[in-house]
Amino acid sequence: MYSHNGDNFFVVDGHLHFWDASPANWVSGQEQYAKGWIECFHAYMGLGPEETHWPLEKFQKYSEDDFVKDVFEDGYVDVGIFQSTYLKEWYRDGFNTLEKNSQLVEKYPDRLIANGRWDPREGEAGLKQLEEDAKRYNLKGVKLYTAEWHDGSRGWRLDDKESMKFLEKTQELGIKNVHLHKGPTIWPLNKDGFDATDIDGPATEFTELNFIIEHAAIPRIDDFAYMAVQEPNVYAGLSVVTGALMHARPKFFARVMGELLFWVGEDRMTFGSDYNIWEPKWQVEGLVDWQMPDDEAFTDYPKLTTASRKKILGLNVARLYDIPVPPECQLPDMGEGSPADQNIASPEAAPAV
């Protein structure tokens, strides 16, 4: 919990990792990709405050003690959600797997949730594995990586025929939350693999699922925002948005936040630190203190309120994952959607066209 100026914020970090990218875990013959991947991540860390930067060796493989201190003790996080990323083409035991993440969940069952994953290119074997994982780990969510390499393939789309079979299975198994990496490119993956144009069809068809678009599809913020406003089960995950932009690109951060607040709305925005690319402490503190600039270029964007910050930092994800919220952090009303929703729903409020 984070307390500031008499207000209590229940913090749910919706995007955490516990990875092993050390050389001992690199696949023989694929070292250049394993090395390049983690070095690209490490470069992104440089967009945070200088005092939070880590040496590469620690960044490749950090300890449980590091995680607990940075996330729980210093980072104000009440509950965190692991997003699994396998990358077994480059990392022998996987980069950040459900199995490894679940070991920490067993130690901190009230504070951590581990999401699974699936890949439609794995066919029937993948569907069977999803069923087994859902039963064994009581999955509430999955993390999908549409740009991941697999057996010669350089990516897949969520609206592919095979993907739709996996979405059907996900819904059948009662897994409600589908997180997708749709944002900045990480070398050596292809930029087009992170394109978000494959979201709206599945979101329209699978209304029982929540689609949390991690990194809010930046830098394609306009395309994403105009799509998301039409799909009430599409959410904007702020991992990378806060970590990469709030400190290093404050004007662009304000524009991204403004577009998301206007089109998607504060009820469908979720906080994620993307640890350990960035630590949650400075991001939580920064979001609570942040104000939309008074500059004329930003006057048509909504302003953040204390209620907005409470929703974004924890209450929205708590609702999606049925996480209990302490009474002192709750709000009496979770809101009416985005300003754009209200204009579209009320013709008299919308401009004439």
What would the two tokens of residue 130 be? Answer: 């999803």
Per the DSSP assignment, residues forming a β-bridge with 13 are 80
The pLDDT value given to residue 337: 61
Mapping DSSP to helix (H, G, I), strand (E, B) and coil, where does residue 160 land?
Answer: coil
CA atoms of 288 and 268, how far apart (whole Å):
17
The pLDDT value given to residue 338: 63
Query: What are the backbone angles phi and psi of residue 316, rounded to the nearest 5°?
Result: -65, -45
Condensed to tens digits (0 to 9), the pLDDT of residues 64-87 reads 999 999 999 999 999 999 999 999
Mean pLDDT of 248-253: 96
* Of 258, 250, 238, nearest in space to 302 by CA: 258
The pLDDT value given to residue 349: 42
> Rounded to whole angstroms, what are the CA distances from 310 to 13, 150, 269, 331?
12, 39, 11, 8
Mean pLDDT of 343-352: 44
* Of 149, 178, 38, nearest in space to 95 by CA: 38
Asked whether residue 192 carries a pLDDT value surpassing 90, the answer given is no
CA atoms of 247 and 253, how far apart (whole Å):
9
Mean pLDDT of 225-254: 97
Mean pLDDT of 206-235: 96
CA atoms of 100 and 18, how far apart (whole Å):
8
Asked whether residue 323 carries a pLDDT value surpassing 50, the answer given is yes
Model confidence at 191, pLDDT cuts 50, 70, 90, reads confident
Asked whether residue 353 carries a pLDDT value surpassing 50, the answer given is no
Model confidence at 348, pLDDT cuts 50, 70, 90, reads very low
The letter for the amino acid at 115 is N
CA atoms of 9 and 15, how far apart (whole Å):
17
Q: Is the pTM of this model over 0.85?
A: yes
Asked whether residue 163 carries a pLDDT value surpassing 90, the answer given is yes
Condensed to tens digits (0 to 9), the pLDDT of residues 105-121 reads 999 999 999 999 999 99
Domains (range + CATH), the chain = 2-349 (3.20.20.140)
Condensed to tens digits (0 to 9), the pLDDT of residues 283-310 reads 999 999 999 999 888 999 999 999 999 9
